[in-house]
Amino acid sequence: MANISISARNLSKNYGKTHAIKEVDFDIKNGEIVGILGPNGAGKSTILRILGGLTTADSGTAIVCGLPVADNSLETKKKIGFMQENNPLPEELRVREYLKLRAELKEIPKEIIATEVRRVMDLCDLFRTARRKIIRTLSKGFKQRVGIADALIGSPDIIILDEPTIGLDPHQIQGIRKLIDMLRTKHTVLISSHILSEIEKNCDRVIIINHGRVVAEGTKQDLADEFVNENRLFVTIEGNATIFSNYLDEAMLSYQIDTTFENEKNMTHFTIQSPKTFIISNFIRAIENFEDCNLLGIYLLKPDLESIFLAATKRSWEEEMNH
Amino acid sequence: MRHFFILLRHEVRLLFIAPSTYIAALLFLLLMGFIYWAIIRNMTLMPQDSSAINQFFSLFWLPVFFSVPLLTMRSIASEKNQSTLETLFSAPVPKFAIVLSKYAAAYILYCILWLLTLYFPYITASALPETISNASLTNSSAIMGSILFIAISGWLFIAVGIFTSSLTRSQLVAGMLCFTFLFILCVGAQQLEYATYAYFESGTFIYETIQYLNVFRHYQDFSLGIIDTRPFVFYGSMSLILLSFTVYMIES
């Protein structure tokens, strides 16, 4: 268990009569980048706030770097860099002043505060552009960078980022993504998001939360194996596609058609759902025998996180209904 | 304590860069200057029983009612509103250090404002040397007693402000709550003493308790140079209780 950074053991938390999270259980290893994925109100922020020592669980134990958070919240906070959802910052301070204050509060030795603040500003590309700016005047993207720079101060073992890309434009999202990528292996990173592509691109492992419960956990491949029961093939046909459509109908495969004309050739693209047992080589041989219809391309579409997420949440709803 | 001093420096700095601080200070000094001027004018028109400084500080409640809400209403309410308090909690900082730093910063400013009013007697003495005797204007024992009262009663008044600021996210509501609490604290005990005067004999437990709570009676003692330890205990313990409640409020 020595290489476990974060452990959640049966965490439950209620707000009044509402169950925010219920018996949440997971482990995160050192140096992993893990995404917590879930719809709005699923309980992602509550889990992160419990791990960050901002609130306490009604039952269960959160363990950070081997220490139970509830009993050692000041100690565990020293090991965590936390950026909250919406990243609230004191608007009247300048970026450098704010980061200096945070470094002091995080008990960074006085003699290295300036160097440390410079390091995190360089890392987040704040030094050249924004160090003297008042936080109020910064764009949303730069404010997020300030929040991440704050989380990085003191090189904590664990970085927790709650919705780091919320409200950002694509350029800013790409910047933040690069920044998170730079943290790989140096820190254990826990990111929450409801944006699937974010988690897909950044994270080694995903924890899917729905209605306050962990409904799936693992690498994208693990989750695909567990939740996706069919392959998706992308096939491009030239010529008379009716023969091919009839073949698919006979084989009882569901498909979508998109016809295009490129270089005066009549090309038809099929996206086909097939069972996992489907043998593609037989399929190719069958197509080769068709007249007036040539196979131009075929490739297997990898299951995306969206389909995994939808399958996992659907299964959790079905289980809840059955109960 | 390290966190307390870091946060105190930060809070004091925030107070001094906020325009509202200067507006509050200006209003405070204008009002106090006007009151002092009115007292001096009355003294020149007819003989008075007490010195100008005693009359001046006996009206301590008037600036307290508006300056304390102005100085404290922003402290926790606005941080709650902007969620920046949560950001502070994410650092390894004890919650009592956060509350204490906000309290101490507001208290420092409160004391500075009152200390500035000490210029009034000296300005009057130098500007109007023939009108009122210097001894009457700058009676050091009255000044020391009064300012000591202001300092220790300020412990409680500022604690009330910080506490009420922790009850809400709205600065305006925090200010109104603070005014109401201070009004009850200052005027309530005095009125209670008047109301129960006929029913309880002097020396009985209830009468003594009501007197113990009467802020105006504390001022009378201090202005006469009577330094009693009981007000120190009263203001100190009440402030600590309120600050503990404040910590509880921000935790919840």
pLDDT digits (tens, 9 = 90+) for A251-262: 666 666 665 555
In a domain, A200, yes or no: yes
- Tell me the C-alpha distance between B103 and A68, whole Å: 31
Do A162 and A151 share a domain, yes or no? no
Contact map slice: B 71-90 vs A, CB within 8 A: 82-84, 86-90
> Do A67 and A102 fall into the same domain?
no
**Quick one: what percent of chain A has pLDDT higher than 70?**
90
Highest mean pLDDT among A129-138, A265-274, B104-113: B104-113
Please check whether residue A319 lies inside any domain of the structure. Answer: no
Q: What is the DSSP letter of B73?
A: T
Structural domain for A92, as ranges: 87-155
- pLDDT-flagged residues of chain B (< 70): 131-136, 197-198, 200-203
pLDDT at A105 over 60: yes
For residue A253, the domain's CATH number is 3.30.70.260
pLDDT digits (tens, 9 = 90+) for A197-251: 777 778 888 898 888 888 888 887 777 777 777 777 788 887 777 777 777 777 6
CB contact under 8 A, B6 and A74: no
Chain B nearest C-alpha distance from A208 (Å) = 25
User: Could A105 and B92 be called an inter-chain contact, meaning their C-beta atoms sit closer than 8 Å?
Assistant: yes
A104 and A243 assigned to the same domain = no
Which range, of A33-37, A48-52, A318-322, averages the lowest pLDDT?
Answer: A318-322
Q: Is residue A314 part of a domain?
A: no
A1 and A74 both lie in a single domain: yes
Tokens 């004091």 — which residue? Answer: B12
Q: What is the pTM of this model?
A: 0.81
Which pLDDT score is estimated for B134? 67
Residue A29 lies in a domain: yes
Q: Are residue A72 and residue A197 in the same domain, yes or no?
A: yes
Q: Answer with the one of A102, A137, A155 that is the final residue of a domain.
A: A155
Residues A21 and A167 in one domain: yes
- Indicate whether A3 and A59 sit together in one domain: yes
pLDDT band at A323 (very low <50, low <70, confident <90, very high): low
Q: A56 and A163: one domain?
A: yes
How is chain B split into domains, by residue range? Answer: 2-251
Considering the domain architecture, whether residues A108 and A248 belong to the same structural domain is answered as no
- Distance between CA atoms of residues B77 and B70, nearest Å: 12
Which strand (E) or helix (H) includes residue A152?
helix A140-152
Task: Please state the domain count of chain A.
Answer: 3
Closest CA to B117 of B51, B48, B49, B60: B60
Given a contact cutoff of 8 angstroms between Cβ atoms, the answer to whether A298 and A280 are in contact is yes
Asked whether residue A45 falls in the same domain as residue A96, the answer is: no
Q: Return the higher-pLDDT residue of A12 and A198.
A: A12
* Within-domain flag for A323: no
- Are A122 and A193 within one domain? no
- Segment A148-171, tens digit of pLDDT: 899 989 889 899 998 888 777 777
What value does the mean pLDDT of chain A take?
82
> Is A317 part of any domain?
no
- Strands A33-37 and A205-210, bridge-based pairing: parallel
Q: Per residue in B91-134, pLDDT tens?
A: 899 999 999 999 999 999 999 999 998 888 888 877 777 766 66
| B252 Cβ under 8 Å from any chain A Cβ | no
Question: Given this model, what pLDDT does residue A73 score?
Answer: 85
Tell me the pLDDT band of A84, cut-offs 50, 70 and 90. confident
